[in-house]
Amino acid sequence: MKKILVTQTSMPPYEEFCEEIKSMWNTKYITNSGPKHQELEQKICEYLQVENTSLFTNGHLALYTALKILKMKGEVITTPFTFASTINAIVENGLTPVFCDINPHDYTIDSSKIENLITDKTCAILAVHVYGNACDVENIEKIANKYNLKVIYDAAHVFGVKYKNRSICEYGDISMLSFHATKVFNTIEGGALIYKDNKKYSRLKALKNFGIDDDGYIIEESINAKMNEFQASMGLCNLRHFREELSKRERVFNKYKELLKNVNGIKLNELQENVTPNYAYFPILVDKHKYGKTAENLFNILKENNIYSRRYFYPLVSDYEYYNNLGYESSNTPIAKKISENILCLPMYADLDLQDVVNICQIIKNNQS
Ligand SMILES: *Cc1c(COP(=O)(O)O)cnc(C)c1O
């Protein structure tokens, strides 16, 4: 059987990319916020209908910079059910992550449990829109206003997702998008920050360029995280095809849903009310008692058939060995712990053959015991 990976990068037609980068052989302008970079920022603003987009070389450095520009001290309430990047960005900024449990429906932070974790050291909430599911943005906003906290969203999974017909990135002080090759929209590697208040964040441009401002002065020590022109060109091409990308993903999603909806012990990720999805991932929750096997068993069975699913996110960030010294106990977030042990992301990408989906689902059904 042919090898099927959990994801496959969407690429524009080869000729289209060549055409896009051609002008650079005349201009010799290949980085430092050149014309492609500027055009992509503008096109993303138009596509998402947001006011400001600032491009970065990757999502992680964008998130790191979002936390840096807010100049905070103390504790950040966040979720353990995320990728290493979220927590690393907090710790790299000298801040302390405080883990809040998630809700069992959409796997995002359980907003009803946030208030209990607030202390006089709390400065922000960093929530993650997992798998394309929207966090409880309205309640999070209420809590943040009540306690005067900043809200940052790790929106790495939600490019194109809308809540009540507006970009989900409109919520919070700053949202971070990732354009890594494995994400729904890619610029090879890449990322962006989305924010409303342009004045407040005018230092962003300097912060991703060693702290050098438009006049050449160094205003503060900082990193280099500029998106280059080749990345931006890939983004311009992929953005032209993004609607098609979504409709192809929707077909795959619907096929999986049709075939797996009645399998005992397999719970699917439900689409949320008021949310326009982007079909970024296809996570299933394996109930070992009802299905008869664990998520790990199923992962291995699929692997024997040359199908590579992903235990994403397992283990929880709070169980990482290198964070042992911070004294976390994943038993304090029992729902996250349980979801993490039982979750499996099935292969999901625009060009996944529907016949392959049929085969994957057949293996899942045949191995129920
Ligand atoms: C991909 C991802 C990131 C990091 O983005 P990069 O562009 O790979 O640096 C951060 N958070 C989450 C949840 C992600 O999935």
Cis peptide before 179 (omega within 30 of 0): no
From the CB of 156, is ligand 1 less than 6 Å away? Answer: yes
Q: Residues 45-94: pLDDT tens digits?
A: 999 999 999 999 999 999 999 999 999 999 999 999 999 999 999 999 99
Q: What is the whole-number distance in angstroms between the Cα of residue 80 and the centre of ligand 1?
A: 14
Q: What is the whole-number distance in angstroms between the Cα of residue 264 and the centre of ligand 1?
A: 32
> Where does the pLDDT of residue 325 fall: very low under 50, low under 70, confident under 90, or very high at 90 and above?
confident
Q: Which of 7, 9, 60, 135 to mutate to test the pocket of ligand 1 (most atoms within 8 A of CB)?
A: 60
DSSP assigned state of 127:
E
Percentage of residues of the chain with pLDDT beyond 70 = 100
Residue owning the nearest CA to atom 2 of ligand 1:
156
Structure tokens at 60: 């992680």
Q: Would you state the pLDDT for residue 106?
A: 96
Q: Which atom of ligand 1 is nearest the CA belonging to 82?
A: 13
Q: How far apart are CA 299 and CA 86, in angstroms?
A: 25
> Where does the pLDDT of residue 160 fall: very low under 50, low under 70, confident under 90, or very high at 90 and above?
very high
Q: What is the whole-number distance in angstroms between the Cα of residue 26 and the centre of ligand 1?
A: 34
Average pLDDT of the chain to the nearest whole number: 96
From the CB of 78, is ligand 1 less than 6 Å away? Answer: no
User: What's this model's pTM, rounded to 2 decimal places?
Assistant: 0.97
From the CB of 85, is ligand 1 less than 6 Å away? Answer: yes
Structure tokens at 164: 């009540």
Find, among 142, 95, 102, 89, the residue nearest to 122 by Cα.
Answer: 95
Q: What is the whole-number distance in angstroms between the Cα of residue 47 and the centre of ligand 1?
A: 21
> Where does the pLDDT of residue 128 fall: very low under 50, low under 70, confident under 90, or very high at 90 and above?
very high
CA atoms within 13 A on the CB side of 49: 8
- Calculate mean pLDDT across residues 329-352: 97
Q: Which atom of ligand 1 is nearest the CA belonging to 157?
A: 15
H, E, C per residue of 290-315: HHCCCHHHHHHHHHHCCECCECCCCC
From the CB of 60, is ligand 1 less than 6 Å away? Answer: yes
> Where does the pLDDT of residue 1 fall: very low under 50, low under 70, confident under 90, or very high at 90 and above?
confident
Residue 236, number of CB atoms within 10 A of its CB: 21
> Where does the pLDDT of residue 324 fall: very low under 50, low under 70, confident under 90, or very high at 90 and above?
confident
Q: What is the whole-number distance in angstroms between the Cα of residue 27 and the centre of ligand 1?
A: 32
Q: Residues 171-203: pLDDT tens digits?
A: 999 999 999 999 999 999 999 999 998 888 999
Torsion of Cα atoms, 143 then 329 then 102 then 130, to 10°: 110
Q: Locate the DSSP E strands across the chain.
A: 52-56, 75-78, 96-99, 122-128, 150-154, 162-163, 166-167, 174-178, 191-195, 266-268, 275-276, 282-286, 343-346
Q: Would you state the pLDDT for residue 323?
A: 84
